Structure 1
């Protein structure tokens, strides 16, 4: 997982170096998500990178009722991860990224629950890794790593150390 997270760090370095215009103007979360996805794609050659992707092959990605992300409909809840690194046709799911702006005052719990569900090995669309990124204009304000339907504290600490070392996260 370190290799994949190092590629994500490289994408974040490129993002903060090249996207000053939209960062300085406080662009919307969808704009930031798209631009980060462009840099993620450059660092994950051979993989498909998509925003708001809700498919697994030909099927829609739906969380079954009773999962940790609540739903009121009878079939389940469609979910749209902000950025995914995957193979569309196989399907093979590597990395799901949830991005939020530091100024977002909505509870972060929904993003955390979504990443727990997306990395749940008991669901047919499990991603190997999930990452929550909290973006600010000058750098990250937080990063969490999810694997196996839970917050992976050792990987989160490893990622935080690397991000601090690279100047992307305040210590």
Structure 2
């Protein structure tokens, strides 16, 4: 189940198109971020059929998911984290994609830092990381994405 970047990017783009075509109402009404990320996860699940797609998944195998040395905004280190969406195989270290999402059209500095940690920490082993900003209200249907390599 080794997915190359181009294929992963195409699947994410297809899922975004489905979100915009089927659930634009959520964006137009500025619904809660969790509602929007859940719908995106549904469409990602359709694209990544041999993978599990979870929202707010806070486990690393059987342990809590921790980003070592990442200081929270309050200054605490070793922050417990719940990524917005992940594509993975539960109970393994086979983690394909982690997504942090915000309802705006620019990168969130702290989320970008978290994504870099998700990619660099050996115990998490994410192959791809994506920041996704979605426009709401009059900007519904617009998006900003930034991949972490």
**Cross-structure match for 2:88:** 86
Q: Equivalents in 2 of 1:103, 1:125: separation in Å?
A: 27
1:1-171 equivalences in 2 (<5 Å): 1-64=5-68, 67=69, 69-71=70-72, 72-73=75-76, 76-102=78-104, 108-120=108-120, 122-137=121-136, 138-147=140-149
The one-character-per-residue Cα deviations of 1:97-148 (angstroms, maximum 9, x if unpaired) are 01100179xx81111001000011x43102100001110143233110012x
Per the normalisation by structure 2, the TM-score is: 0.86
Contact 1:133 / 1:140 at 8 angstroms: preserved in 2?
no
Report how far residue 77 of structure 1 moved: 1.2
Q: Secondary structure at the match of 1:133?
A: strand
For the structure 1 residues 127 and 140, does the alpha-carbon distance in structure 2 shift closer, same or farther, using more than 3 Å as the test? Answer: farther
Q: Equivalents in 2 of 1:46, 1:103: separation in Å?
A: 31
Contact 2:58 / 2:64 at 8 angstroms: preserved in 1?
yes
Q: Secondary structure at the match of 1:53?
A: coil
Spell out structure 1 runs of 4+ moving beyond 2 A.
71-74, 137-141
- Any gaps of 5 or more consecutive residues in structure 2? none
**CA RMSD of superposed structures (Å):** 1.8
Q: Secondary structure at the match of 2:126?
A: coil
Q: Equivalents in 2 of 1:124, 1:20: separation in Å?
A: 37
Per the normalisation by structure 1, the TM-score is: 0.75
Q: Secondary structure at the match of 2:92?
A: coil
For the structure 1 residues 21 and 141, does the alpha-carbon distance in structure 2 shift closer, same or farther, using more than 3 Å as the test? Answer: closer
Report how far residue 73 of structure 1 moved: 4.7
- Of 131-140 and 108-117, the range deviating more from structure 2: 131-140
Aligned residues: 140
